[in-house]
Structure 1
Amino acid sequence: MTKNTLCVLGAGSWGTALAILLAKNGHEVVLWGRNKEKIRAMYEAGENSFFLPGIPFPKTLTVSSNLSQAVLQSDELLLVVPSHAFRDTLVQIHCIKPDLQRLSWATKGLEPDTHQLLHTVVDEVFEQSLQQAVISGPTFAAEVAKGLPTALTVAANDQAYAQTLAELLGNATLRPYVSHDIIGLEIGGAAKNVMAIAAGIADGLGYGANTRSALITRGLHEISQLSLKLGAEQQTIMGLSGLGDLLLTCTDDQSRNRRMGLAVGRGQNIEQAEIEIGQVVEGVQAAKQIYSLAQDLGIEMPIVEQVYQVLYQNLAPQKAVQNLLMREHKSE
């Protein structure tokens, strides 16, 4: 395998896990983060003690808070910053390397305020045509970092680029699949977080497995409606980055979004829950963004609507569940 110098931008749990994976695959990897104190602590500890404690960095993984240096020395850039920082990071990259030819990201979410899909943000910042790729799927960061068996999807607007990234990521414990459906991966990765909050709320209220199963199933229907409207493919919705990621996020307490829902269902407010979770909970912003997007497109997404009202309009969680159950009867 050809050795590459890769830059992973974003030193949260998922960015760190991908950096560890790529370094274990034999590549030189720079993990960039904007917080100088945290980056220094990672350097001294040889691990990301904040998000993935006890998982040491491979020897070929270095950390940096110098964005220019990290970008200019790398053959590949992989963005894993939170969605609210996505555009700002892109603008900085464009200033450093305006002739960039290709870019990949594993950020899940839409852009705040504009509720744009992230590939459209890339198009706006980089006026030239870029090779673009999205990495998504049912992946908890700690399990990837530990080398537990995992599968994910790489979707790109150039299939040779998708295959290149698949070869960089793939090893004996991680199996990547390739696709051309960027929109499908982006919608699946954003919307499933909202459904995980819904599932967590229901479980926090003590409503049990029947309720959770119904929410996941109808949640998949809502994701499908939105995805198809925006041009995604049904195969993607039923694949790893759609159904697979939805099941994972809704059913396991490693999910920050599910934990947020559990906290809300048990009576905590969003601010309390975010402090306890200690990381960005993408589904909180995604609920607002996807609700607005669905309204703009004239798509009915009742679960998303109820989550939005709980998070932003002080609707009682019990009332949200009642609202869903009392909707007009219809064919499945």
Structure 2
Amino acid sequence: MKVTVLGCGRWGTFHAWYADHIGHDVLLWGRKGSKHLQELKETHKNEYLELPERVALTDDIEAALAFADTIVISISSQQLRSFVGELAALGLAGKRFVLCMKGLEIGTGKRLTTVFREAAGENIPVAVWVGPGHVQDFTRGIPNCMVIAAADMQLTKELVEAFSSPLIRFYYGEDLLGTEIGAAAKNVVGLAAGMLDGFGYGSLKGALMARGTRELSRLIEKMGGDKMTVYGLSHLGDYEATLFSPHSNNRRFGEDLITGKPFAKLAEGVYTVEALMDLAREYRVELPICETVYEIVHNHQDPKDQLTQLFMRSTKSELA
């Protein structure tokens, strides 16, 4: 199978590495002038991995689309609508797309598959690939489990078959809405976990995980998804990689915010929490952890005061 990967950042280069690793022919695309692409052209490696020479590199988007029928997209979630609009102008008939990214669109709160369909057209097949794992672990041969989900179960099964290997065991995602909301929201919980680390309150992460899954299960149910999906690989299953790992950008952002260190890498939870608060208002669901993170990150409220208020909320039944 031929696979094109659009996006040459941390996860884009990993998906190119992985597709090659399991025997597919791979073309990796990056924008003209991208420092990431230039580095790969010069050395065929970055700070995370080394790509085999047989993985082709290009900045020609038309050539990238023409190369394969299976197209992986791995870019910042907030750029998806405009980027897919560019792709659609080139023609997408006969292609199937896999979104290897997590987030919600700011301003609309829309899921990424919804954004994709609005920009590309309703008839273009699209799936999401999410779940736990870090590039640094996968490239060392440490296996993990992930999930692929689409509105069309046949597409889900075809992609799982195409990408499964001893390194990644895939499960079928049967609730696309819950999978996408859970995958996006775990980054917000990761920000909160990093803040706890910054204060030396890591022992509270157990409570954070229990209450984080609970509040997001309520949101998913109100939106029409399965409230149990949040306890699967897209959310709870990804907590170790997001709330505890030193490789987690979201956890590191939260910790550095508390300790006063600058953090220059992308932490998707910063954008996702804004969209989640819009959804909370739309669906009239209380999201206390998300609201606390929003107040700290976007309204610049005192982190210690906000976290203290969160853990001092009024007494209630745990599962009510």
TM-score range, shorter chain: over 0.9
Contact 1:204 1:265 in 2 (8 A): yes
Q: 2:3 maps to which residue?
A: 6
SS of 2:310's equivalent in the other structure is helix
For the residues of structure 2 that align with 1:148 and 1:63, how far apart are their CA atoms? Answer: 26
Contact 1:72 1:97 in 2 (8 A): no
Q: 1:150 maps to which residue?
A: 144
Contact 2:217 2:228 in 1 (8 A): no
Q: 1:85 maps to which residue?
A: 79
Change (3 A) 1:219 1:25: same
Q: 1:62 maps to which residue?
A: 56
Q: 1:15 maps to which residue?
A: 12
Contact 1:134 1:155 in 2 (8 A): yes
Aligned pair count reads 317
Q: Aligned match of 1:322 in 294, 301, 308?
A: 308
Gapped regions of structure 2 (runs ≥ 5):
none
For the residues of structure 1 that align with 2:210 and 2:32, how far apart are their CA atoms? Answer: 40
Q: 2:106 maps to which residue?
A: 112
Contact 1:6 1:28 in 2 (8 A): yes
Q: Aligned match of 1:214 in 207, 220, 230?
A: 207
TM-score of the superposition, structure 2-length normalised? Answer: 0.94
TM-score of the superposition, structure 1-length normalised? Answer: 0.91
For the residues of structure 2 that align with 1:246 and 1:178, how far apart are their CA atoms? Answer: 19
CA deviation digits over 1:130-181, x for unaligned, max 9?
A: 3221101012122223332111001112222212211222112211111232
Q: 1:135 maps to which residue?
A: 129
Gapped regions of structure 1 (runs ≥ 5):
none
CA deviation digits over 1:27-84, x for unaligned, max 9?
A: 111111115343132022012x1x41xx321343112111111011212111111101
CA deviation digits over 1:298-322, x for unaligned, max 9?
A: 1100010010000111111100111
Change (3 A) 1:224 1:35: farther
Q: Aligned match of 1:38 in 14, 23, 36?
A: 36
Change (3 A) 1:145 1:169: farther
- RMSD between superposed Cα atoms in Å: 1.6
For the residues of structure 2 that align with 1:300 and 1:190, how far apart are their CA atoms? Answer: 17
CA deviation digits over 1:187-246, x for unaligned, max 9?
A: 11110000010011011011231x111111111111211122222223422111121012
SS of 1:99's equivalent in the other structure is coil
Instruction: Give the AA of the match of 1:12.
Output: G
For the residues of structure 2 that align with 1:202 and 1:128, how far apart are their CA atoms? Answer: 42
Q: Aligned match of 1:299 in 263, 269, 285?
A: 285
Contact 1:94 1:100 in 2 (8 A): no
Change (3 A) 1:254 1:228: same
Q: 2:186 maps to which residue?
A: 192
